[in-house]
Structure 1
Amino acid sequence: MDLRQLEYFVAVAEEQNFTRAAQRVHISQSGVSAQIRRLEKELGAELFDRSARAAELTAAGKAALEHARNALAAAGAVGQAVGEITGLLRGNLNIGMVIGCTVTPLFDALAGFHRAHLGVELSLREDNSDRLVDEVRTGTLDLALIGAESAPEGLETLTILSEPLIAAVPGGHELAGRAIALRELAAHPVVCMPPGTGLRAVFDRACAARGVEPVIALQASAAGAIADLALRGLGVAILSESMAAEHPGLTALPITDATDPALLAITWRPEANVAAREMIRHCRRAFRIDSGTTPDTLP
C-alpha cells in the first residue's frame, strides 16, 4: 500500500461518497475506486459496503480508518520537520474569513506568505464567525479572521481591532446628534448583522443584559449593505465605530449602555502547523502588530 491509497481511503470514509471524495483529492471517481480496490486486495478485506446508498465502512474499514489517518499525519509531520530545517514549507493552508469583511491587510499577508512559500497551496473562503471557529477547532481550517464578542475558548487569538458598537442614522433622523440608550433604540427598527457574527453577538448580549428586545427589521452580512439600508430610512444601523466611519452619509450615535467591545481577530489552534504560524507572522507584519499590542484602528 502507499500513502496515496490511504489518502483516498480516508477521503471516501469522511465524505461517505466516492464522487465527493474524488473531487476532494482532484482525480476521477474511477481513479479513486481503482486505488481503493487495490488497497482492499492487498489487505484481503473490503473496506466499504457498496450495497448501501452511502459509502459506509465495513468492520474492517472502521478498524483501518484511524491507523490510516495516523499514517497520513505522520507522513505530513516528516515533511513539516524537514521544512522547518530547510526553510521550505509545503502542503496546504486553509484560511477562513468572516463574510462581508474586506480587510486589505489580510490580503497583503496572504500575498506576502505566497511569495515567500510558493510550495504551499492557499485556500480562502468566507462564512459566519461561529462556523469558522468550529472549523478551526476541528482542524478543517488552519486559521480564520473572525468577528467575536470575546476570544474563543481554547484557541489562540490575535486581536486586530477592538471597538464599541454604535448606532448609525441618516443626518435628518430624529435620533441624530446625540448618544442613546438601548431602550430608546428599541423604539426604532434595527438593521444589523445576522446571528453567528461577532457584532450581532455583542449587540444581543447587551440587549439581553438590560432586558431590551429590539425589533430586527432587516439583516445583512456586509457592513456596506447595512449602511445602505439605514441611509434609505429602513432602520437604525448597528455597526462598529470604524465601519460607520466609512459611510459619511450616516451619523454615528454612541450607545451609552452597550459598553462591551466587538473584536476582529485571527484565531488558530495552539497546536497549529508551521505554515499557519508563519502566516500569523505575516499577519502581524501586515497589520503592524507587535506581540502584546493591539491597534486602535485598522491600517
Structure 2
Amino acid sequence: MPALPFTLRQLEVFAHLAASGSFRATADGLGISQASVSNQIKTLEEQLGRRLLDRKPGQRPILTADGQAFHDDLKAFDAAALALATHRRSGTPEAEPVRYRLLVGQGNFDNYVRPKLDGFLAEHPMIDLEFDTQPPSPGVAGTIQNGHYDFALINRRCDLPQEPHLEKVARVRGGIFGHRKLVENEALPLDPARISALPFLLPPAGGKYEREVLVTLAEHGVRPSRIVGHTQYYDVMAAMLERGVAVASLTDAIMPPATRENVILLLPLIDWDLEFYRRSGLGNPSADLVEAFLKSCMLDNPDYPALRIYGRGANQQRS
C-alpha cells in the first residue's frame, strides 16, 4: 500500500466543507471547532503541495481548479471504499458491534425518535447509534450527500427540487403558528398585515436560515415589525409559543403534541416533506433494522401530523 498524503479525517473535513461552503457549518456538522476545520484543510494542502480552496475574508471559500479535481477524485475514492466494505461477511445478527451516524432534525428527534430510542437500543445491543441533530438549512441535502452520515431524516420545503439520494416519506403542514390567546375572536387565517404586527421569534440572527425564513415570509406578504427573539432550538421556540409571547414560522410536527390544543395555525405557508436518506452500500441486516426504526418513529406514531404518507396511497388529515 502506498503512503497516502492525507488522513481519512482530512478527507471527511474537506468533503463536508466542499458541500456546505462554510467553515461554521462544517464545524457544527462534525462537532469540532472552526479552528480545527481550518487546520485540517491547511495541513491537507501542505501535504498535497496544492491549494484546494480560495479563502477571502467575508466570502465563502470556493474550490480552486486543483480543489475541484481533488473533490472529483474523492468521489471515486468513496465509491471504492464502499465497494471494499461490501466484502464484509453479512449475517443475522452482526457478530461485532456496528455504529451508525445519523442526522435527524431537532424537533423530529426530540418529539418522535428519542422517546423510542431506549427500547430500540435495549432490543439491539450490538447497534450503536450516534445522532447529530440540527435545524433545517438550505445546504443540508448537500451535506448528507457527501457520505458523512449513514442515515438521515430531515424536513425540506415541498417546493424544492427532489434530490435523487433522498426519499420522500411524509408531508406536514407549514405556516405561522402561535397561541390562540393572541388572536382571540379573530377569524383565521389572519391577513398578512395582522400577522406582521405580532411578536415574532426567528432563527439565529444573520444566518442563512433566518434569511430564508424572512424571504419566505415576504413572499406571502408578511414582514415582521416586532422581533422578540432569535433561537435555533425548537424546544425553546415551542415553549415561547406555548406561553403566548411570540409566533413563529415552522411545521406542526415540530410542536410537541401536548401544545397543539392551544398553539394553532395562524397563516398557512409552504408545506414541508419529511425525507429519508440511507447511504449507498449499507446492505447488512442491522441497517435494515435502523431504517425500519426511524420510519416507524414517525409513521406509526398517531401524534405525528402527516398530511400525506408517500407510498401508502392515502392522505392523513389531523383533526
Q: Does the alignment reach a TM-score above 0.5?
A: yes
The aligned runs of 1:220-259 (5 Å cut-off) are 220-230=231-241, 234-241=245-252, 243=255, 246-247=258-259, 250-255=262-267, 258-259=268-269
TM-score, normalisation: structure 2: 0.59
Q: Give, in angstroms, the shift of residue 191 of structure 1.
A: 1.7
What is the distance in 2 between the residues matched to 1:114 and 1:135? 30
Q: SS of 2:43's equivalent?
A: coil
Q: Give, in angstroms, the shift of residue 146 of structure 1.
A: 1.8
Q: Give, in angstroms, the shift of residue 142 of structure 1.
A: 1.9
Q: SS of 2:311's equivalent?
A: coil
What is the distance in 1 between the residues matched to 2:271 and 2:195? 18
The amino acid of 1:75's aligned partner reads L
Aligned to 2:85, which of 61, 76, 86?
76
**Aligned CA distance change for structure 1 residues 229 and 214 (closer, same or farther; 3 Å):** same
**Aligned CA distance change for structure 1 residues 125 and 259 (closer, same or farther; 3 Å):** closer
Aligned to 2:19: none
Does 2:153 match 1:145?
yes
Aligned to 2:141: 133
Structure 2, unmatched stretches of 5+, are 15-29, 31-40, 51-65, 301-308
Q: SS of 2:143's equivalent?
A: helix
**Aligned CA distance change for structure 1 residues 175 and 135 (closer, same or farther; 3 Å):** same
Does 2:47 match 1:57?
yes
Q: Give, in angstroms, the shift of residue 91 of structure 1.
A: 4.2
**Aligned CA distance change for structure 1 residues 135 and 182 (closer, same or farther; 3 Å):** same
Q: SS of 1:103's equivalent?
A: helix
What is the distance in 1 between the residues matched to 2:298 and 2:124? 18
TM-score, normalisation: structure 1: 0.62
Aligned to 1:10: 8
Question: Any idea what the Cα deviations from partners look like across 1:36-82, whole Å, max 9, x if unmatched?
Answer: xxxxxxxxxxxxxxxx972532469x999968766643431211xx3
What is the distance in 2 between the residues matched to 1:283 and 1:149? 20
Question: Any idea what the Cα deviations from partners look like across 1:166-224, whole Å, max 9, x if unmatched?
Answer: 431362x3555431122320122312445666x9957742x333343223432223344
What is the distance in 2 between the residues matched to 1:213 and 1:111? 45
What is the distance in 2 between the residues matched to 1:159 and 1:208? 29
What is the distance in 1 between the residues matched to 2:213 and 2:13? 35
Q: Give, in angstroms, the shift of residue 140 of structure 1.
A: 0.6
**Aligned CA distance change for structure 1 residues 108 and 251 (closer, same or farther; 3 Å):** closer
The amino acid of 1:136's aligned partner reads I
Q: SS of 1:246's equivalent?
A: helix
What is the distance in 1 between the residues matched to 2:5 and 2:98? 14
Q: CA RMSD in A?
A: 4.5
Size of the aligned set, in residue pairs, is 251
Aligned to 1:99, which of 76, 96, 106?
106
Aligned to 2:311: 292
Instruction: Verify the 8 A CA contact 2:201 2:237 in the aligned structure 1.
Output: yes
**Aligned CA distance change for structure 1 residues 7 and 226 (closer, same or farther; 3 Å):** same
Instruction: Verify the 8 A CA contact 1:98 1:132 in the aligned structure 2.
Output: no
Q: Give, in angstroms, the shift of residue 96 of structure 1.
A: 1.0
Question: Any idea what the Cα deviations from partners look like across 1:209-254, whole Å, max 9, x if unmatched?
Answer: 3343223432223344224334556433444345275337845253
Does 2:94 match 1:88?
yes
The amino acid of 2:156's aligned partner reads A
Aligned to 2:194, which of 180, 184, 202?
184
Q: Give, in angstroms, the shift of residue 163 of structure 1.
A: 1.8
Q: Could you tell me the percent identity over the aligned residues?
A: 15
**Aligned CA distance change for structure 1 residues 53 and 117 (closer, same or farther; 3 Å):** same
Structure 1, unmatched stretches of 5+, are 17-23, 25-51
Instruction: Verify the 8 A CA contact 1:167 1:238 in the aligned structure 2.
Output: yes
**Aligned CA distance change for structure 1 residues 284 and 235 (closer, same or farther; 3 Å):** closer
Q: Give, in angstroms, the shift of residue 145 of structure 1.
A: 2.4
The amino acid of 1:185's aligned partner reads I
Q: SS of 2:223's equivalent?
A: coil
